Amino acid sequence: MAELLIGQTLSFAGDPFAEGPAAARHSSRGGVLVEGGRIAAVGEADALRRAHPQARVTDYGGALISAGFIDAHVHYPQTAIIASWGKRLIDWLNSYTFPEEMRFSDPAYAAAIAARHLDLVLANGTTTVCTYCTIHPESVDAFFAAAQARGLRAYAGKTCMDRNAPEGLRDTAQSAHDDSRRLLEKWHGVDRLSYVITPRFSPTSTPEQLAMLGQLWREYPDCLMQTHLSEQVDEIAWVRELFPQARDYLDTYEAQGLLREGAVYGHAIHLTAREKARLAEAGASLVHCPTSNTFIGSGLFDMGLARQVRVGLATDTGGGSSFSMLRTMAAAYEVAQLRGEALHPAQLWWLATQGSARALRAEALIGNLAPGMEADLVVIDLASTPAIAQRAARAADLWEALFPTIMMGDDRAVRAVWVGGRPVPAGRETPGRDASRAGSPGAGTAGTG
């Protein structure tokens, strides 16, 4: 049966980084008609009601209906160690991340955290994530199974590391290639799932491993490839030592066939002029992870790049400090302010929806309200707390009404979430106690460093 959702609607007819806020389309009494998992029509509520009298109507009043958020770079295995205090990147990986990722050899633990992660992100209005798993193939199976059970469009890959990681968290060039290929064959294109070839980053892959993954990518050119690029200054110096022949960090990937359309680089903060030019020329994507970049002390992403390359937005949990794309938009705003640019709410909202979809080369499927697109939707309460409500009450237009929610909102602002044309049942998002008991509970990850 057709479903008609009524409320304020926000969509995009263009890129607000190119066209300004006029690229947005807003209706204060709009409607989204959903049929067969897809958006069948977007328009004025009254007209859609008249044209589709048989549709079941859900009226969200003054709440805002948007495409669901797309989180273009996360580490679902780091869900349980989010907000771990006091380290910079390499220390943080060694102290918190690697010990936690070690636990994902246990399929039951991986399944519990995958479920917890997806329920948390859904509760925050995020309907698609692109995630790193761990080196364990079981961690990929667990994630895809959990995403499939929820009907999500989702992106994931086995994280490959064959050096500079602890025993138990290393594969080899050959096993990374073979495991990645097997997982790709098993999951890529099944339902709404996509496999992503995933070398963690150059410091933890030998040139041989990067080359074998480059070879795999040539064999499966429609896959994405994700990795990290130029996140911290110390990390870049380490890459220089490890790859003395490379022109720069990007070249460590480029030399092995890991730079072209469909390459998705997280962070990309400290780029040289050559790297920026090559990224644009190659049609690669960058993902801005602002809460992570401030939390781990990495630096301030140059949002000017959004005018040259595809840029998406991401939480980067657990390096990021929030599961909320609202909080992430707020951090993107603050980071841009520190670089002298005030991002418009239209640009922030676009980054969290169409921008991320474009970074994942999925803009024809998700990330906007338009006929034919998959019906992954979030419904946002623009007065979700007293502080937000009193500010929004003064608003003269949509942007003034929306900005307090961007800056101060969290999962309390998420009134409803629809995935594949169906409402996500309320309460599903509550992380179960079962999840917290799964695997071997223990002290291992709670050190104060």
How many residues sit in the footprint of Zn ion (CB under 5 A)?
2
302 versus 316: smaller Cβ distance to Zn ion: 316
Q: In the complex, which residue's CB is closest to ligand GUN?
A: 319
Residues 179 and 187: beta-carbon distance below 8 Å: no
Beta-bridged to residue 24, according to DSSP, are 12
Sign of CA dihedral 220, 192, 373, 317: negative
User: The tokens of 203 are what?
Assistant: 């410091």
CB of 134 to Zn ion, least distance (A): 13
Contact between 316 and ligand GUN (CB under 6 A)? yes
**Residue 157 contact among Zn ion, ligand GUN, none, beta carbon within 5 to 8 Å by kind:** none
CB of 448 to ligand GUN, least distance (A): 20
Residues 286 and 268: beta-carbon distance below 8 Å: yes
User: Which residues, 140 to 159, sit near ligand GUN by CB under 6 A?
Assistant: none
- Short-list 290, 211, 223, CA closest to 252: 211
CB of 381 to ligand GUN, least distance (A): 31
**CA atoms lying within 13 Å on the CB side of residue 447:** 13
Hey, what's the torsion of the CAs at 158, 288, 123, 381, to 10 degrees?
-160
CB of 230 to ligand GUN, least distance (A): 10
6 versus 161: smaller Cβ distance to ligand GUN: 161
129 versus 373: smaller Cβ distance to Zn ion: 129
User: The tokens of 191 are what?
Assistant: 């339902």
CB of 83 to ligand GUN, least distance (A): 13
**Residue 201 contact among Zn ion, ligand GUN, none, beta carbon within 5 to 8 Å by kind:** ligand GUN
Contact between 231 and ligand GUN (CB under 6 A)? yes
Contact between 230 and ligand GUN (CB under 6 A)? no
Amino acid at residue number 440: S
User: Which residues, 26 to 85, sit near ligand GUN by CB under 6 A?
Assistant: 75
- The whole-angstrom separation of Cα 338 and Cα 346 is 19
Q: In the complex, which residue's CB is closest to Zn ion?
A: 266
Contact between 95 and ligand GUN (CB under 6 A)? no
How crowded is residue 448: how many other Cβ atoms within 10 Å of its Cβ?
A: 7
How many residues sit in the footprint of ligand GUN (CB under 6 A)?
12
Q: What is the DSSP letter of 247?
A: S
Angle (CA) 240 132 74, round 5°: 95
Contact between 312 and ligand GUN (CB under 6 A)? no
Contact between 117 and ligand GUN (CB under 6 A)? no
- Short-list 351, 346, 256, 250, CA closest to 303: 351
Contact between 257 and Zn ion (CB under 5 A)? no
- The whole-angstrom separation of Cα 163 and Cα 169 is 9
68 versus 203: smaller Cβ distance to ligand GUN: 203
Residues 6 or more apart in contact with residue 157 via CB below 8 angstroms: 132, 133, 140, 180, 183, 195, 196, 197, 198, 226
Contact between 302 and ligand GUN (CB under 6 A)? no
Residue with tokens 């690669």: 284
- The whole-angstrom separation of Cα 119 and Cα 161 is 28
Q: Binder to Zn ion among 125, 266, 318, 355 (CB under 5 A)?
A: 266
Residues 6 or more apart in contact with residue 84 via CB below 8 angstroms: 92, 95, 96, 318, 445, 449
Residues 6 or more apart in contact with residue 26 via CB below 8 angstroms: 8, 9, 10, 398
**Residue 97 contact among ligand GUN, Zn ion, none, beta carbon within 5 to 8 Å by kind:** ligand GUN
Contact between 194 and ligand GUN (CB under 6 A)? no
179 versus 231: smaller Cβ distance to ligand GUN: 231
Q: Binder to ligand GUN among 11, 292, 324, 356 (CB under 6 A)?
A: 292
Amino acid at residue number 190: V
One character per residue 213-252, x = contact with Zn ion (rule: CB under 5 A): ----------------------------------------
CB of 360 to ligand GUN, least distance (A): 18
**CA atoms lying within 13 Å on the CB side of residue 256:** 27
Q: Binder to ligand GUN among 117, 150, 192, 200 (CB under 6 A)?
A: 200
Segment contacting ligand GUN by CB under 6 A, of 13-21, 49-57, 89-97, 393-401: 89-97
User: The tokens of 408 are what?
Assistant: 């101060």
> Could you list the residues that contact ligand GUN (CB under 6 A)?
75, 89, 93, 97, 200-201, 228, 231, 292, 296, 316, 319
> Could you list the residues that contact Zn ion (CB under 5 A)?
266, 316
